[in-house]
Amino acid sequence: MKLVPTTKQISIFSTVTVLGFGSLAIWLLLGNGSYNGFLRPPTFTGALEKHLGENEDPGWRDRYYREVFTEPNRTTDTILTPNLAELCQAITWRPNLYLNCTRVSAGLFNQVNEIKNCIRMAIDTGANLILPSSSERDSERLNNFHTGDIAWKRQFRQRWDEEHIMSHLGKACPQMKVLPSDEPPISNATHILVDPKGSPGFKEYLGHFDGTRTFRDYVDKTSSEKGATLNSTISPVVLEIEWTLLVINPENDPTGLDWRAWTEISLLIRPTESHRRLVQKLSEAESLRKDSYIGVHLRVEHDAVGKWWDDLELQVSKNLNSIDVVAKRFREQRGDGKNPFIYVACGDKKGIERFRELAALRGYIVLDKWGVLGNDTESLGEIDKLSFDERGLLDYAVLLNGYFFLGTLGSSFSYTVANMRSDRGRFPGTSFVVDDMAKSFSHLFMPPSGRAHFACCL
């Protein structure tokens, strides 16, 4: 795996990104002519497919996609996450301490972040891990997350490959016991509620605990104040954690180990086999060959209306103006004069149809998961049975493999796509403004709310 940038480098990227977004927000509103006049040609020259030598590193994006969406269950003793293993080796473990994250909810990639935080918090405290269950978002009322509602509770294995995470986390951290989310309650255990938001200086969404202000120290202090002992060799202790979203800040480590380990945790969170099969069905389509299409995340579902994002017409306009720039470079590189396909990820079919209508006026063909599967009635039937977030997981996989990605800040879905497309596992800033040495080939639009707080810690 390639090294990630240091804290200083990340700060530089962040500064450039913020400046770039401010300028682009104005340019994108001016229309296509002004936009092309102001913007220098994007520097994404390495997006085309290439043949790799036997020992050549294909880059993080390809590795991540392969491990999470295509690889069968491994039987090898190879450690999938060597940086995470290095982190675990440096921890003093407490064999009778368990960590249980009890209120994982919200949208799909908020939940992924919560699970990653849960794993990282367990390692930091030297605790065993009870895999978290989660609340499923309502597919009809998207802003209803059913937090804490037993009827909407889903075990870890219902969405994610439980065998995969237990096997590979166990290899990286052999001192840690990893228990299924439906494991019976640990008998005779002392339960301690720990609220990360109670830590002095904590601010939601900005990341808090790092190598200088550790979650372990906070847990020890909180437990001591409650008269509990965490190092008992007789009685088990279970830490109950309710808030886990964007709690750990992996960037504040000058060695880069925290970020490399954090990025590797993503390899542990793999969809179930049925989801992976559907992803492969989509990826087999001729129109979705790797790096042959532009991916777009359109955020216009009913819960977005009047909230943080631009309305449908403005989102479509911004995306199409940017697509004109990217498609020009695509045609130049391919040399055949053909436009790339445009794959639109959106949970609102009417929004996709409006995008398709306006894109056709500029000569683009728009694809979506339903159309790509065409006459495959069996796969279409499986998709119809999926929840809103489960369908989003299919779109996510497709967007990873596109030639270029256009999304929106303020969306954990978009931010995660941009992160995982980068060779550093972290979105380095818009590919329209900075030299994209990380090969993320992505741009995230700034919403009118200015909501961009996923930057540090997804």
Phi, psi of 415 (to 5 degrees): -65, -40
> Span 365-390, mean pLDDT?
96
Q: Residue 434 has what pLDDT?
A: 61
Say whether pLDDT at 42 is over 90.
Answer: no
List Cα–Cα distances, 181 to 131, 138, 166, in angstroms: 5, 21, 11
> Span 79-86, mean pLDDT?
97
Question: Do 239 and 127 form a contact (C-beta atoms < 8 A)?
Answer: yes
Write out pLDDT tens, residues 184-221: 999 999 999 999 999 999 999 889 999 999 999 999 99
> Span 434-439, mean pLDDT?
66
Tokens representing residue 176 in the block:
């840690």
For the chain, percent of residues with pLDDT exceeding 90: 72
Write out pLDDT tens, residues 346-370: 999 999 999 999 999 999 999 999 9
**Lowest-confidence segment of 40-49, 147-156, 204-213, 430-439 by average pLDDT:** 40-49
Q: For residue 195, give the amino acid letter.
A: D
Q: Residue 148 has what pLDDT?
A: 86
Question: Do 413 and 419 form a contact (C-beta atoms < 8 A)?
Answer: no
> Nearest to residue 103, comparing CAs of 90, 91, 117?
117
CA atoms of 294 and 288, how far apart (whole Å) = 10
- Supply the pTM of this predicted model: 0.87
CA dihedral 22, 25, 31, 36 (to 10 degrees): 50
Q: Residue 435 has what pLDDT?
A: 60
Q: Residue 447 has what pLDDT?
A: 84
Write out pLDDT tens, residues 60-70: 999 999 999 99
SS3 of residue 281 by DSSP:
helix
Q: Residue 9 has what pLDDT?
A: 34
pLDDT bracket for residue 456 (50, 70, 90): confident
Question: Do 451 and 25 form a contact (C-beta atoms < 8 A)?
Answer: no
Write out pLDDT tens, residues 292-346: 999 999 999 988 877 778 999 999 999 999 999 999 999 999 999 999 999 999 9
Write out pLDDT tens, residues 125-155: 999 999 999 999 999 999 899 998 989 999 9
pLDDT bracket for residue 78 (50, 70, 90): confident
Say whether pLDDT at 12 is over 60.
Answer: no
Contacts of residue 24, defined as CB under 8 A and 6 or more positions apart, other chains included, come to 39, 430, 432, 433, 443, 445, 446
Q: Where are the domains of the chain?
A: 7-56+272-445, 74-268
Q: Residue 75 has what pLDDT?
A: 62
For the chain, percent of residues with pLDDT exceeding 70: 85
Q: Which residue has the tokens 């202790």?
A: 237
Yes or no: is domain 7-56+272-445 CATH 3.40.50.11350? yes
How many residues are given for the chain? 458
CA atoms of 14 and 443, how far apart (whole Å) = 13
**Lowest-confidence segment of 9-13, 346-350, 409-413 by average pLDDT:** 9-13
pLDDT bracket for residue 421 (50, 70, 90): very high
> Span 1-9, mean pLDDT?
36
Write out pLDDT tens, residues 162-174: 999 999 999 999 9
> Span 279-299, mean pLDDT?
97
Say whether pLDDT at 439 is over 70.
Answer: yes
Helices of type H across 142-255: 162-172, 215-225
- Three-class DSSP labels, 325-361: HHHHHHHHHHCCCCCCEEEEECCCHHHHHHHHHHHHC
Architecture of domain 74-268: 3-Layer(aba) Sandwich (3.40)
> Span 434-457, mean pLDDT?
80
Say whether pLDDT at 58 is over 90.
Answer: no
Task: Say if residue 51 is exposed, middle or buried (CB neighbours under 10 Å; 0-12, 13-18, 19+).
Answer: exposed
